[in-house]
């Protein structure tokens, strides 16, 4: 009420008169005090009766609590528990204060404001947050969310703190399915409220008589207040006029200042825009010159690129033509080479067939002659011709055994040479990997099979004991003894200049005889007949091994 007191003071000072001022101030102070008390009491009553009764939907609030308990996780759930705990404490504190005020008999005492919740469908009495919290299934939903996601220590402590003495039984029953009806506590509160209303109505009836006596005093005070209100209205009108004039003057001055500032800002903007335009023109001219230079450079580079592209295109065409010609030449060359190889392969097969056929005929004749020689030598052994009579004669009639042994050795050398030649031909024929199909020639296979049969037949013939070989061995033994004696005497100058390792590799008599007997044998090179060389010692060892078998 300070604004009312100040307005009255100004009105009295404007009218003049110290006595009037003093009296008006004293009376005004008492009136303002009473009016202020009345307004404060009315405001408190209105606040108690109306302000604290801000009703909300009970079902909607319960649904929100359940949704929040199910959906929140982690830190949000912790904050939700904290808010619930604070609201439960405030509601409990406010309910306790209201009960204490009613018990003490001070219904007009200032009480904390509470949010009340109404069930509009049933039309029941308003409920506080504790009743709504009990009615909803927030605790059950919160326990379900904690089962789905394990709670932290802080959440567990907050939940245990929220389960106070009045909520513990309900929470346990709600979890186990044996929920107690929350309407009992609410009905108890409603009964207490009805009793308090009855007591209040009785108190109002007793106070109505005392208030009637005070009504006359209030009428006089109201008349005084009417006079004061008229004077205040006049002074307020004058003050409003002055305020309006001051506002108009301030608005005019502000408008003038705004126009001046706008003009100054516009001029400054014009200057800045002109300077910026000049700078922009200079920069644009420089950019245009630079772009022209770049355009000329690009035109020159484009012309050079066109020339280069034409040369590159011609070079590509030339390379493509050369590649085509080269590929055609390679194809023709490969085709010719394949044709030549096919011709050579056919010629090679014919040559192998010819040589093998000749070797088969030669081997068959030689093996037959060897068989006859072996039979004749057996006949001589049966007749027991002495070795001394054979050594004294020099002609066929005088020494026929020696003649037969020489013929046998010559035939044996021819057979061994023919077999070595056939082995080399077979190795050459099988080593040709590029023409694998030529190995399947049936004639060549048949000839190789016949040669293998002749080899088996030759190995099956027993080799007789020859007198010539016995004499040669005795002579070699004598020579070896003489050589040992010469080495022991220290005459190293009489040794053979040819090493012992190379003596066995010299051409033997069998090779020279084979070359004389077979003119085709001379046509082969040294590389082709490198595997054909053999000496007498190797032949003797081979024959002895075959004979022992």
Q: Rounded to an integer, what distance in angstroms lies between the CA atom of residue 411 and that of residue 214? A: 174
Q: Which helix (H) or strand (E) holds 165?
A: helix 165-176
246-268 burial, b for 16+ CB within 10 Å, e for fewer? Answer: eeeeeeeeeeeeeeeeeeeeeee
Q: Rounded to an integer, what distance in angstroms lies between the CA atom of residue 155 and that of residue 74? A: 9
For position 491, what pLDDT does the model report? 46
Token pair 């069930």 in the structure block, residue: 119
Stated length of the chain = 549
The dihedral sign for the CA sequence 388, 389, 394, 396: negative
Interior CA angle at 524 toward 520 and 526, to 5°? 145
Q: Going along 159-243, which residue ranges are E strands?
A: none
pTM to 2 decimal places: 0.31
| Secondary structure string (H, E, C) spanning 391-457 | HHCCCCCCCHHHHHHHHHHHHHHHHHHHHHHHHHHHHHHHCCCCCHHHHHCHHHHHHHHHHHHHHHH
φ/ψ bin of 126: left (φ > 0), alpha (ψ from -120 to 50), beta (otherwise): beta
For position 543, what pLDDT does the model report? 40
Closest C-alpha among 158, 169, 172 to residue 87 = 158
Q: Which helix (H) or strand (E) holds 258?
A: helix 183-383
Given a cut of 50, the residues of the chain with pLDDT beneath it are 1-4, 7-8, 11-12, 14-25, 27-28, 31-52, 165-166, 171, 174-180, 384-397, 437-438, 491-549
β partners of residue 54? 115
Q: Which tens digits make up the pLDDT trace of 209-236?
A: 666 667 677 777 777 777 777 877 887 8
């Amino acid at each position: 009420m300070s604004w009312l007191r100040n307005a009255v003071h100004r009105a009295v000072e404007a009218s003049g008169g110290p006595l009037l001022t003093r009296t008006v101030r004293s009376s005004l102070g008492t009136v303002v005090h009473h009016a202020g008390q009345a307004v404060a009491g009315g405001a408190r009553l209105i606040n108690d009766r109306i302000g604290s009764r801000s009703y909300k939907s009970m079902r909607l609030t319960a649904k929100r609590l359940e949704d929040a308990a199910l959906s929140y996780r982690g830190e949000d759930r912790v904050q939700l528990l904290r808010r619930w705990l604070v609201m439960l404490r405030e509601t409990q504190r406010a309910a306790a204060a209201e009960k204490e005020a009613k018990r003490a008999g001070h219904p007009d005492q200032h009480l904390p404001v509470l949010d009340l919740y109404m069930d509009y469908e049933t039309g029941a009495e308003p409920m506080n947050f504790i009743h709504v919290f009990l009615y909803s299934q927030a605790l059950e939903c919160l326990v379900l969310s904690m089962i789905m996601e394990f709670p932290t220590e802080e959440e567990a402590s907050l939940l245990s703190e929220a389960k106070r003495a009045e909520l513990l039984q309900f929470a346990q029953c709600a979890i186990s399915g044996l929920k107690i009806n929350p309407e009992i506590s609410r009905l108890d509160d409603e009964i207490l409220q009805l009793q308090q209303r009855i007591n209040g109505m009785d108190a109002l009836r007793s106070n109505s008589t005392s208030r009637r006596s005070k009504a006359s005093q209030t009428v006089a005070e109201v008349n005084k207040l009417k006079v004061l209100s008229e004077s205040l209205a006049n002074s307020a009108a004058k003050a409003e006029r002055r305020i309006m004039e001051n506002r108009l003057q301030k608005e005019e001055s502000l408008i003038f200042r705004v126009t001046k500032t706008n003009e100054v800002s516009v001029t400054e903007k014009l200057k800045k825009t002109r300077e910026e335009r000049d700078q922009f023109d200079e920069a644009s001219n420089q950019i245009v010159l630079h772009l022209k230079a770049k355009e000329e450079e690009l035109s020159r580079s484009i012309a050079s690129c066109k020339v280069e592209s034409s040369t590159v295109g011609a070079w590509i065409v030339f390379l493509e033509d050369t590649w085509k010609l080269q590929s055609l030449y390679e194809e023709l060359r490969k085709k010719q080479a394949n044709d030549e190889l096919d011709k050579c392969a056919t010629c090679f097969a014919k040559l192998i067939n010819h040589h093998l056929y000749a070797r088969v005929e030669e081997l068959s004749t030689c093996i037959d002659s060897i068989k006859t020689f072996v039979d004749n030598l057996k006949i001589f052994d049966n007749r027991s011709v002495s070795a001394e009579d054979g050594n004294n004669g020099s002609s066929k009639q005088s020494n026929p055994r020696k003649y037969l042994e020489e013929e046998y050795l010559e035939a044996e050398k021819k057979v061994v040479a023919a077999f070595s030649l056939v082995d080399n031909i077979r190795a050459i024929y099988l080593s040709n990997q590029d023409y694998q199909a030529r190995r399947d020639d049936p004639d060549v296979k048949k000839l190789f099979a016949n040669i293998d049969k002749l080899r088996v037949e030759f190995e099956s013939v027993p080799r007789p004991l020859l007198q010539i070989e016995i004499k040669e061995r005795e002579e070699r033994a004598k020579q070896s003894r003489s050589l040992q004696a010469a080495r022991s005497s220290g005459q190293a100058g009489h040794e053979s200049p040819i090493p012992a390792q190379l003596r066995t590799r010299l051409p033997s008599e069998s090779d020279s005889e084979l070359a004389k007997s077979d003119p085709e044998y001379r046509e082969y090179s040294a590389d082709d007949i490198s595997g054909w060389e053999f000496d007498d010692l190797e032949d003797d060892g081979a024959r002895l091994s075959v004979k022992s078998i």
